[in-house]
Amino acid sequence: MAATSTPSSRPFPPHTLEKALIIINAIVDKGASKPMDRLLVADAIGRTPSSSEFRRLLSSSRWYGLTLGTEKADNIVPTELGLKISKPTHLDEALQGKVQACLNVEIIDKLWRQFNRQKLPDAKFLKNTLERSYSLSAEHADEFSELAVANAKFCGILQDISGAKYIRMDEPKADAVPAAVLSDVSEDREAETAFEIVSEAEDEPLEAPVKATRGNRVFITHGKDKGILAQVKEIVAYGKFEPIIAQERETSAKPVPDKVMDDMRSCQAAVIHVGIDEIWFDKDGNEKPQINGNVLIEIGAAMALYGKNFVLLVEEGVILPSNLQGLYECRYKGDELSMTATMKLLKAFNDFT
Q: What pLDDT was estimated at residue 175?
A: 52
Q: What pLDDT was estimated at residue 289?
A: 78
Q: pTM of the prediction? A: 0.54
Q: What pLDDT was estimated at residue 47?
A: 93
∠ CA 310-314-319 to the nearest 5 degrees? 115
Band of pLDDT at residue 98, cut at 50, 70 and 90: very high
Stretch 66-90: mean pLDDT: 92
Q: What pLDDT was estimated at residue 108?
A: 95
Q: Identity (one letter) of the amino acid at 100?
A: Q
Taking each helix axis as running N to C, give the angle between helix 17-30 and helix 138-155, from 0 to 180 degrees, rounded to the nearest 10: 60
Stretch 165-188: mean pLDDT: 60
Please determine, looking at this structure, whether the domain spanning 214-351 carries the CATH number 3.40.50.450.
yes
Model confidence at 179: pLDDT above 70? no
Q: Are 320 and 272 in contact (CB under 8 A)?
A: no
Model confidence at 163: pLDDT above 60? yes
Stretch 44-67: mean pLDDT: 94
Model confidence at 7: pLDDT above 50? no
Beta-sheet pairing, 287-290 with 278-281: antiparallel
Model confidence at 194: pLDDT above 80? no
Report CA dihedral (63, 68, 71, 74) to the nearest 10 degrees: 180
Task: Show Cβ contacts of residue 1 under 8 Å, excluding neighbours closer than 6 positions.
Answer: 135, 250
Band of pLDDT at residue 11, cut at 50, 70 and 90: very high
Q: What pLDDT was estimated at residue 353?
A: 56
Q: Are 294 and 330 in contact (CB under 8 A)?
A: no
Angstrom distance (rounded) from CA 236 to CA 22: 25
Q: What pLDDT was estimated at residue 210?
A: 38
Band of pLDDT at residue 201, cut at 50, 70 and 90: very low
Where is average pLDDT lowest: 18-27, 165-174, 197-206?
197-206
pLDDT in tens, 333-345: 887 888 888 888 8
Q: What pLDDT was estimated at residue 241?
A: 82
pLDDT in tens, 142-162: 999 999 999 999 999 999 888
Q: Are 64 and 105 in contact (CB under 8 A)?
A: yes
> Number of helices and strands (H, E) in the chain?
14, 12
State in words which class domain 1-205 has: mainly alpha
Task: Show Cβ contacts of residue 8 under 8 Å, excluding neighbours closer than 6 positions.
Answer: none
pLDDT in tens, 285-330: 777 777 777 788 888 888 888 888 899 998 888 888 887 778 888 9
Where is average pLDDT lowest: 132-141, 183-192, 254-263?
183-192
Band of pLDDT at residue 167, cut at 50, 70 and 90: very high
**In the chain, at which residue ranges do the beta strands (DSSP E only) sit?**
36-37, 67-68, 75-78, 158-161, 164-167, 217-220, 242-245, 269-274, 278-281, 287-290, 310-315, 329-332
Domain boundaries, the chain: 1-205, 214-351
pLDDT in tens, 239-277: 778 888 876 544 444 456 667 778 888 888 899 988 887
How many residues belong to the chain? Answer: 353
Angstrom distance (rounded) from CA 73 to CA 84: 23
